[in-house]
Amino acid sequence: MTLCSSCSSGSSSTRSWIVHGIVVGGAIAAAIGAGAYLFRYRKFRSQVVGIIPARYASSRFEGKPLVNILGKPMIQRTWERAKLATTLDHIVVATDDEKIAECCRGFGADVVMTSESCRNGTERCNEALQKLDKKYDVVVNIQGDEPLIEPEIIDGIVKSLQAAPDAVFSTAVTSLKPEDAFDPNRVKCVVDNQGYAIYFSRGLIPYNKSGKVNPQFPYLLHLGIQSYDAKFLKIYPELQPTPLQLEEDLEQLKVLENGYKMKVIKVDHEAHGVDIPEDVEKIETLMREQNLS
């Protein structure tokens, strides 16, 4: 009886221990899991660098990054805007030119010297990334010719890439003005219902059966700013040109043609790129009107 009772109590306590053990074990496993999850979540693409590629020689506008816009070099204006972004751990100017480097160091920017052989901004970003001591997960390519870039757009594309592990690239679009519909220099974009890019074109997409602009359709204009997963940036310049890329002369198409996913965010933004010397006056007028200094 005693034995039996002790036996039964023993077995019940054993059982309760086992149950308890499973609960505790489960809780520990859950805690480890959550910890690992949070750790991973916090870690995922957390280190972000903004790179402003700047070259002196330009076919259309020699010395463009240093052009004076209401009293400050254009590159300084871009850098000051980028500084206001909250998602960037570090910002560097990547240039092959000593004058640009000296100017940037003068207003407090970090500079990475890149070789003259870089054929475009993407290659320059990649070379700069390899030269940085710290490792980064995400690179934002901040074009130096958009001195009015909003820091919120930089933060937006970084966050969207951090939240989309299946994408290697993120970029931004804004509403297309009807008068730009058939301008081949204004690149149009169509996206799926999750905000992934389907296609970019210099032609109007989607194309209305009537051949005219549909005033009801929310057409999207691509903005130059883009961010990449750092591992993808290493292979991006080496990906062979693809047929659609070559036909449209749009670099980003080779990302899609190779089957990579690209996340697109929609923002409210008036594009004021500086491509030719005449654009400087336009942007200064606008800044005066908007009381920006």
Ligand X SMILES: *[C@@H]1O[C@H](CO)[C@@H](O)[C@H](O)[C@H]1NC(C)=O
236 sits near ligand X (criterion: CB under 6 A): yes
Residues 257, 258, 261, 263: what is their CA dihedral angle, to the nearest 10 degrees? -50
8 A C-beta contact, residue 82 and residue 142: yes
Of 6, 12, 14, 208, the one binding ligand X by CB under 6 A: 208
Phi then psi dihedrals of residue 160, to 5 deg: -70, -35
* Burial class for 6, CB neighbours closer than 10 Å (0-12, 13-18, 19+): exposed
State the minimum distance, in angstroms, from the CB of residue 159 to ligand X: 23
Q: Whose Cβ is closer to ligand X: residue 214's or residue 279's?
A: 214
**Cα–Cα distance between 112 and 94 in angstroms, integer?**
5
257 sits near ligand X (criterion: CB under 6 A): no
237 sits near ligand X (criterion: CB under 6 A): yes
Residues 159-198: x where in contact with ligand X by CB under 6 A, - otherwise, as a string: ----------------------------------------
The piece of 130-138, 172-180, 203-211, 279-287 that touches ligand X (CB under 6 A) is: 203-211
Tell how strand 220-229 and strand 167-175 pair up: antiparallel
Q: Whose Cβ is closer to ligand X: residue 109's or residue 139's?
A: 139
Tell me the DSSP string of 132-160.
-SS--SEEEE--TT-TT--HHHHHHHHHH
Of 42, 119, 134, 135, the one binding ligand X by CB under 6 A: 119
Name the residue among 179, 198, 175, 189 with its Cα closest to residue 261: 198
The piece of 42-50, 131-139, 206-214, 271-279 that touches ligand X (CB under 6 A) is: 206-214
Of 76, 87, 95, 122, the one binding ligand X by CB under 6 A: 122
Instruction: Please give the residue ranges that form the binding site for ligand X (CB under 6 A).
Output: 119-120, 122-123, 208-210, 214, 216, 236-237, 251
